[in-house]
């Protein structure tokens, strides 16, 4: 295989894996660290993506502006964050009076309302979606003067770097937040809402903060996605996509950054690697006499089966998720492998409660 | 100190509060004034409404009638976190520590009303933020030392022994630098020597932090030696109050306790 084919294939998956990690991390802030049950994360992601398409496609056409340039391109990222944060606020404030399942239904409602508005709005391209111009490539070719092939490669490298930079930014921002008084207040809310409030934690403030911040970060990932994919349509942001993000968070561990990253990579990579399975690798699926007996399917088409299997295994063996609420740390790993048994072994002094 | 106490307004003024749950009157016409530095005991048989009083004072419940003011501020419809911010802190009868957090982190949550951090400062690790975190670290460690829990600082709070959990709750409550401390059965489950230690501890923190304390307790010797004044609740009604010695002799109090024991 030549270099460009490899770059196209692996580059695409690297970009998408970065986007998934960023989305799963911000969802973990809401669902894992704070213990709110949101099913609307794909909606905030979609808002960010649509804002990008509107800024780069719809607005220039409607307003009769010149084609979108680098400035508009750069503006899509903060604008996507801002608008998604605004939606986070609009959805968050009334929804946070609800608890548990009710909040899940309400946020799910938001995701579906957003999708249906996009489907039914001419302005947003109905179910056809909107295409997004390749502003960055045009910039590379016209302003920098790169050849077409060189520009294509540079563009791919740029998006790989961008998506992983956004994932890293999300990680650092959330990690720093959680390692502060705000993080302790958020954890306290998850553990015992009433006790947290009686210790002076303003519940509404923190829940809204978490919702708005989570939405803004999802919006940012949406802008990266839309610019990279150069196309947005309602069914990219459907409920099932949100469920996959939720599964990543649950599988990685509610309240673990490293677990989320691990699970996002795992769940993203399994279908990718399954596409390499040779066609001769088949497993029997069901019995149908009209099709001549036992019907076989190629492993390639069965990634959803693996997806379910992985989830079943994790839930059975590690219901707290791969990492629970712990973080991966090289120092701890070193101590565990080479260190002596130390104070970490908890002295059990549990009297009858 | 006693001279100033008579001239200042009460730290906590509760006037004729009433709370009903459906047809049940949990607290009826409860009135209480706490002067600075006082230690008052709230006693009564099980189900008398003592914890309900605590829940009313801290804003978990809102009274159906009557008024509560903390340091001159009417707590009317203030949320519990705002009321805590006025300088009132409590422990819980059924321990409510944050189980998944470490011992020292539990205490650190207690600093919420007094140590405000900016979110941007936290995200970007500003010098002011790092200074603040160091201070919280130091003060939390001090509180743990005071409670004799310093060696368990990084243990998971749920792994502590019962008495240690109760002391951790006190440390956590003290972190918000309260003026009024509400203790809900601090000696529950303690044996005689533990109970004596706890008494000394409560005297110490009262001195050190200039506290006014309202304590619910079933352990009579404990509360009688600690409190200068007792209030006795039965079925939500204040049936007696005054000096421990007088209250102990009160026929109504004897009947409330003996009557209850007779039913058991």
A187-219 pLDDT per residue, tens: 999 999 999 999 999 999 999 999 999 999 999
Task: Determine the 3-state secondary structure of B34 from DSSP.
Answer: strand
Those of residues 84-123 in B touching chain A at CB distance below 8 A are 84-85, 89-90, 92, 96-101, 105, 108-113, 115, 117, 119, 122-123
Helix axes A70-95, A203-229, angle to 10 degrees: 150
CB A217 within 8 A of CB B120: no
Same domain, B145 and B192: no
Cα(B264)–Cα(B259) distance, integer angstroms? 9
Q: What average pLDDT does the structure give for chain B?
A: 90
Q: What distances in angstroms separate CA B256 from CA A5, B41, B50, B51, B241, one per listed residue?
A: 87, 17, 14, 17, 14
Whole-number percent of chain A with pLDDT over 70: 95
Q: Residues B44-57: what's their mean pLDDT?
A: 92
Q: Is there a contact between A351 and B85 if contact means CB atoms under 8 Å apart?
A: no
Residue B115: domain span: 102-176
Whole-number percent of chain A with pLDDT over 90: 63
Q: Residues B135-164: what's their mean pLDDT?
A: 94
Same domain, B199 and B231: yes
Helix axes A203-229, A181-191, angle to 10 degrees: 100
Least confident of A44-53, A272-281, B109-118: A272-281
Same domain, B183 and B167: no
A329, burial (CB in 10 Å: exposed 0-12, middle 13-18, buried 19+): exposed
Same domain, B165 and B219: no
Same domain, B68 and B195: yes
Question: Is a pLDDT exceeding 50 seen at residue B3?
Answer: no
CB A41 within 8 A of CB A218: yes
Q: Who's near B65: CB < 8 A, 6+ residues apart? A: B16, B17, B18
| DSSP result, A55-111 | IIIIHHHHHTPPPP-HHHHHHHHHHHHHHHHHHHHHHHHHHTTS-HHHHHHHHHHHH
CB proximity A97 to B under 8 Å? no
Given the cut 0.95, state whether the ipTM is greater than it: no
Cα(A145)–Cα(A164) distance, integer angstroms? 26
Last residue of a domain, one of B111, B143, B176: B176
Q: Residues B52-63: what's their mean pLDDT?
A: 95
Last residue of a domain, one of B115, B147, B176: B176
Q: Is there a contact between B112 and A199 if contact means CB atoms under 8 Å apart?
A: yes
Confidence at residue A306, expressed as pLDDT on a 0 to 100 scale: 80
Q: Give the Cβ contact number of residue A147 at 10 Å.
A: 10
Smallest Cα distance from A106 to chain B, Å: 25
Cα(A21)–Cα(A28) distance, integer angstroms? 10
Total of domains in chain B: 2
Cα(A237)–Cα(A216) distance, integer angstroms? 16
Looking at per-residue confidence, does A302 or A49 come out higher?
A49
Is B96 inside a domain boundary? Answer: no
User: How many residues appear in chain A?
Assistant: 353
Is B92 inside a domain boundary? Answer: no
Confidence at residue B6, expressed as pLDDT on a 0 to 100 scale: 46
Smallest Cα distance from A32 to chain B, Å: 13
CB proximity A349 to B under 8 Å? yes
Q: Residues B87-93: what's their mean pLDDT?
A: 95
Those of residues 60-79 in B touching chain A at CB distance below 8 A are 60, 79
Same domain, B142 and B192: no
CB A247 within 8 A of CB A304: no
Confidence at residue B54, expressed as pLDDT on a 0 to 100 scale: 95
Same domain, B202 and B250: yes
CB proximity B136 to A under 8 Å? yes
Burial B65-85 (b: 16+ CB within 10 A, else e): ebebbbbeeebeebebbbbbb
- Using 50, 70 and 90 to split pLDDT, how confident is the model at B261? low
Q: Residues A279-287: what's their mean pLDDT?
A: 83
Question: Is a pLDDT exceeding 60 seen at residue A255?
Answer: yes
CB proximity B156 to A under 8 Å? yes
Least confident of A45-59, A204-218, A289-303: A289-303
Question: Is a pLDDT exceeding 70 seen at residue B33?
Answer: yes
Residue of A nearest to B110 (CA): A199
Same domain, B189 and B167: no
Confidence at residue A340, expressed as pLDDT on a 0 to 100 scale: 58
Confidence at residue A351, expressed as pLDDT on a 0 to 100 scale: 36
Report residue A236 CA to chain centroid gap: 13
Q: What distances in angstroms separate CA B123 from CA A172, B69, B137, one per listed residue?
A: 8, 37, 18
Confidence at residue A353, expressed as pLDDT on a 0 to 100 scale: 32
CB proximity B58 to A under 8 Å? yes
Is B97 inside a domain boundary? Answer: no
Residues linked to residue B20 through DSSP beta bridges, in sequence order: B25
List, for residues B185-207, the tens digit of each pLDDT value.
Answer: 999 888 888 899 999 999 999 99
Same domain, B61 and B115: no
Confidence at residue B53, expressed as pLDDT on a 0 to 100 scale: 95
List, for residues B97-132, the tens digit of each pLDDT value.
Answer: 999 899 999 999 999 999 888 999 999 999 999 999
Q: What average pLDDT does the structure give for chain A?
A: 89
Cα(A334)–Cα(B2) distance, integer angstroms? 59
Least confident of A110-124, A180-194, A288-302: A288-302
**Residue B34 dihedral angles phi and psi, to the nearest 5°:** -110, 120
Residues linked to residue A86 through DSSP beta bridges, in sequence order: none
Question: Is a pLDDT exceeding 60 seen at residue A352?
Answer: no
Same domain, B127 and B186: no
Same domain, B123 and B250: no
Same domain, B156 and B203: no
Q: Which CATH number fits the domain that encloses residue B224? A: 3.40.50.300
């Amino acid at each position: 295989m030549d270099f460009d084919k490899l770059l196209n294939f692996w580059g695409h998956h690297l970009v998408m894996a970065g986007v998934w990690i960023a989305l799963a991390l911000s969802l973990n802030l809401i669902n894992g660290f704070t213990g709110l049950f949101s099913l609307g994360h794909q909606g905030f992601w979609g808002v960010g993506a649509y804002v990008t398409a509107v800024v780069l496609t719809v607005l220039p056409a409607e307003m009769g502006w010149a084609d979108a340039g680098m400035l508009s391109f750069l503006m899509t990222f903060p604008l996507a964050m801002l608008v998604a944060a605004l939606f986070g606020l609009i959805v968050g404030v009334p929804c946070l009076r609800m608890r548990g399942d009710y909040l899940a239904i309400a946020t799910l409602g938001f995701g579906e309302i957003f999708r249906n508005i996009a489907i039914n709005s001419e302005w947003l391209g109905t179910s056809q979606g909107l295409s997004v111009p390749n502003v960055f490539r045009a910039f590379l070719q016209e302003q920098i003067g790169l050849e077409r092939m060189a520009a294509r490669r540079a563009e791919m490298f740029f998006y790989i770097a961008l998506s992983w930079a956004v994932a890293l930014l999300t990680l650092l921002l959330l990690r720093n937040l959680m390692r502060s008084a705000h993080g302790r207040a958020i954890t306290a809310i998850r553990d015992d809402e009433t006790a947290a409030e009686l210790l002076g934690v303003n519940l509404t403030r923190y829940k809204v903060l978490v919702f708005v911040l989570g939405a803004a970060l999802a919006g940012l990932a949406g802008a990266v996605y839309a610019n990279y994919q150069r196309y947005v349509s309602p069914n990219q942001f459907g409920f099932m996509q949100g469920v996959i993000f939720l599964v990543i968070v649950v599988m990685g561990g509610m309240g673990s950054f490293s677990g989320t990253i691990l699970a996002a990579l795992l769940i993203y990579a399994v279908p990718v690697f399954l596409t390499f399975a040779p066609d001769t690798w088949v497993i029997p699926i069901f019995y149908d006499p009209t099709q001549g007996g036992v019907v076989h399917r190629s492993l390639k088409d069965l990634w959803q089966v693996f997806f379910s299997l992985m989830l079943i295994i994790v839930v059975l063996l590690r219901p707290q998720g791969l990492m629970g609420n712990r973080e991966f740390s090289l120092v701890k790993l070193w101590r565990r492998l080479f260190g002596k048994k130390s104070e970490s072994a908890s002295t059990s002094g549990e009297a009858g409660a | 100190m006693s001279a100033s106490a008579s001239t200042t307004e009460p730290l906590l003024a509760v006037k004729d509060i009433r709370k009903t749950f459906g047809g049940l009157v949990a607290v009826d016409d409860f009135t209480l004034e706490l002067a600075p530095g006082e230690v008052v005991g709230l006693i009564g048989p099980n189900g008398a409404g003592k914890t309900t009083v605590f829940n009313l004072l801290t804003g978990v419940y809102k009274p159906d009638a009557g008024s509560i003011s903390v340091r001159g501020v009417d707590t009317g419809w203030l949320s519990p976190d705002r009321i805590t911010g006025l300088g009132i802190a409590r422990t819980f009868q059924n321990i409510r520590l944050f189980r998944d957090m470490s011992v020292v982190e539990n205490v650190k949550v207690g600093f919420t009303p007094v140590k405000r951090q900016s979110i941007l400062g936290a995200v970007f690790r500003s010098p002011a933020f790092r200074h603040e975190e160091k201070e919280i670290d130091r003060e939390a460690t001090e509180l743990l030392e005071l409670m004799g829990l310093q060696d368990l600082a990084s243990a998971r709070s749920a792994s502590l022994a019962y008495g240690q959990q109760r002391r951790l709750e006190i440390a956590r409550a003290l972190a918000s630098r309260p003026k009024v401390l509400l203790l809900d059965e601090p000696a529950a489950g303690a044996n005689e020597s533990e109970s004596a230690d706890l008494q000394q501890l409560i005297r110490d923190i009262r001195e050190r932090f200039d506290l006014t304390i309202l304590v619910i307790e079933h352990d009579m010797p404990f509360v009688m030696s600690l409190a200068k004044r007792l209030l006795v609740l039965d079925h939500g009604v204040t049936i007696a109050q005054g000096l421990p010695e007088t209250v102990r002799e009160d026929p109504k109090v004897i009947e409330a306790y003996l009557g209850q024991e007779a039913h058991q």
